[in-house]
A and B are shown apart, each in its own frame.
Chain A
């Protein structure tokens, strides 16, 4: 009887809590920062701060969704690590591999820590540095497809990459020009693709475009 009462009480309170939570507007009001939410997910920083963040997250639909997002990415990363998603080269000795991974892990931790603490991402280049021109969001099957982008200063060669919806590469090419024409039939009709252009450089400031959707439609 007590169990039944507790269960009923829990379900009622959860429904009421959800009712109030979801009746709030997701985009209005103050929110905790993504970095604070990440600190909760990663269990980093003082507990008092994480509890304060968590209290907001659990009463704000927008921040709760972001919390779930970061938790999902974290869980995927942990799973990949456990499964050894990235195999080390066979020719590296154990001692060398250990030393290399320590150096890289420390470097990566410092880099990520620096990024997360300093606010805006600091990368050597940035997506959006190369402006895409054509095609637009769709193109008709059976005609040559002309890709073009605006020249970026100092770039001698570009890589054009067209990806399928699952992220795999449908085609790629390197060119010194700011245009590339794809023969009819290389991209499938009624299929969604995305494409981007990036710089080929030996320098320290590689640049790239943003990703643009492209759908090949039937005539």
Chain B
């Protein structure tokens, strides 16, 4: 087993020219620091946005590592690879990250490990102490809501489901590429249909003011 002098890139940047030359003679890989510079700012944005979506830690680390590997695979063997890296557009990085994210999902499915779903994701208000009668009644009511959704026009169902999952009308419109008026129209008609089906089954919502 041979002992090899390790090189920290921070040391490389901070060292004197003579020392730097000596270090570079063992660290003949200029691609790595170029890759890290490229990923530095992008990684920060990815971490911040993913945190807002409650994705942290291993999910994001794995994604960034996958992006790192893909960039290395795509450019590492090129002549003057570090210059090629500096020239790639952000849109390329964007698509690479999405492709890597899809690949991670594929691998997780293959491993049958839905690690991203945790009980912490359960929305507030549905868990808590409740008697068996209450739980049963809620389950039956939830099934009635589901049946009511399934009975409405197919074009309205995804919109209603998105709304019930808590997505805003603006997000629904953006996701589907619809105008606000079209989205509002389909959503309210869909909800009205659901309400009508539930009323027909005797389900009424009460408030303290009625």
Report yes or no: B42 in contact with A86, Cβ–Cβ below 8 A.
yes
Smallest CB separation, B83 vs chain A (Å) = 7
B45, B54, B74: most-surrounded residue (chain A CB, <10 A):
B45
Report yes or no: B72 in contact with A206, Cβ–Cβ below 8 A.
yes
Report yes or no: A38 in contact with B98, Cβ–Cβ below 8 A.
yes
Q: Does A203 contact B (CB under 8 A)?
A: yes
Give every chain A residue within 8 A of B38 (Cβ-Cβ).
86
Report yes or no: B1 in contact with A181, Cβ–Cβ below 8 A.
yes
Smallest CB separation, B33 vs chain A (Å) = 8
Give every chain B residue within 8 A of A154 (Cβ-Cβ).
none
Report yes or no: B207 in contact with A4, Cβ–Cβ below 8 A.
yes
* A 145-175 binary contact with B (CB < 8 Å = 1; else 0): 0101000000000010100011111111111
Give every chain B residue within 8 A of A203 (Cβ-Cβ).
77
Give every chain A residue within 8 A of B99 (Cβ-Cβ).
112, 115-116, 121
Give complex CA distance A41, B171 in Å. 11
Report yes or no: A76 in contact with B6, Cβ–Cβ below 8 A.
no
- With contacts A34-B106, A168-B36 taken as known, whether A73 is within 8 angstroms of B77 at the C-beta atoms is no
Report yes or no: A22 in contact with B122, Cβ–Cβ below 8 A.
yes
Give every chain A residue within 8 A of B65 (Cβ-Cβ).
167, 194, 196, 211
Give complex CA distance A43, B178 in Å. 11
Give complex CA distance A181, B117 in Å. 39
Q: Quick one: closest B residue to A79, CB to CB?
A: B45
Q: Kindly identify which residue among B49, B106, B161, B210 contacts A75, using a CB–CB cutoff of 8 Å.
A: B49
Q: Does A200 contact B (CB under 8 A)?
A: yes
Report yes or no: B36 in contact with A169, Cβ–Cβ below 8 A.
yes
Q: Does B22 contact A (CB under 8 A)?
A: no
User: Which residues of A111-147 are within 8 A (CB) of B?
Assistant: 112, 115-116, 120-121, 123-125, 127, 146
Q: Decide if the interface of chain B is mainly helix, strand, loop or mixed.
A: helix
Q: How many residues of B contact A (CB 8 A)?
A: 101
Give every chain A residue within 8 A of B123 (Cβ-Cβ).
15, 18, 22
Q: Quick one: closest B residue to A9, CB to CB?
A: B205
Report yes or no: A27 in contact with B112, Cβ–Cβ below 8 A.
yes
Give complex CA distance A141, B154 in Å. 61
Report yes or no: B94 in contact with A161, Cβ–Cβ below 8 A.
no
- With contacts A13-B164, A173-B7, A174-B27 taken as known, whether A123 is within 8 angstroms of B142 at the C-beta atoms is no
Q: Does A61 contact B (CB under 8 A)?
A: yes
Smallest CB separation, A156 vs chain B (Å) = 12
- With contacts A5-B205, A20-B142 taken as known, whether A186 is within 8 angstroms of B6 at the C-beta atoms is yes
**22 A-B pairs whose Cβ atoms sit less than 8 Å apart in the complex:** A12-B205, A13-B194, A18-B126, A23-B139, A35-B102, A43-B175, A77-B93, A80-B41, A80-B46, A80-B93, A81-B90, A86-B93, A89-B86, A104-B87, A123-B70, A167-B43, A171-B8, A172-B32, A174-B28, A186-B8, A198-B72, A211-B62
Residues of A within 8 A of B (CB): 1, 4-5, 8-10, 12-23, 26-27, 31, 34-35, 37-38, 40-43, 47, 50-51, 54-55, 58-59, 61-62, 64-66, 68-81, 83-89, 92, 100-101, 104-105, 108-109, 112, 115-116, 120-121, 123-125, 127, 146, 148, 159, 161, 165-175, 177, 179-183, 186, 194, 196, 198, 200-204, 206, 208, 211
Nearest 5 CB-CB pairs, A to B? Answer: A77-B94, A58-B161, A20-B142, A72-B53, A76-B49
Residues of B within 8 A of A (CB): 1-9, 26-29, 32, 36, 38-43, 45-46, 48-50, 52-55, 59, 61-65, 68-70, 72-74, 76-77, 83, 86-99, 101-103, 105-106, 109, 112, 114, 116-117, 121-123, 125-126, 138-139, 141-143, 145-146, 154-155, 157-158, 161-166, 175-177, 194-195, 205-207, 209-210
Contacts A13-B164, A80-B45 known; 19 new A-B pairs at CB < 8 A: A5-B207, A12-B205, A19-B139, A21-B165, A22-B126, A23-B142, A58-B161, A65-B114, A79-B45, A81-B94, A86-B93, A89-B87, A101-B89, A112-B99, A125-B73, A169-B9, A170-B8, A172-B7, A202-B77
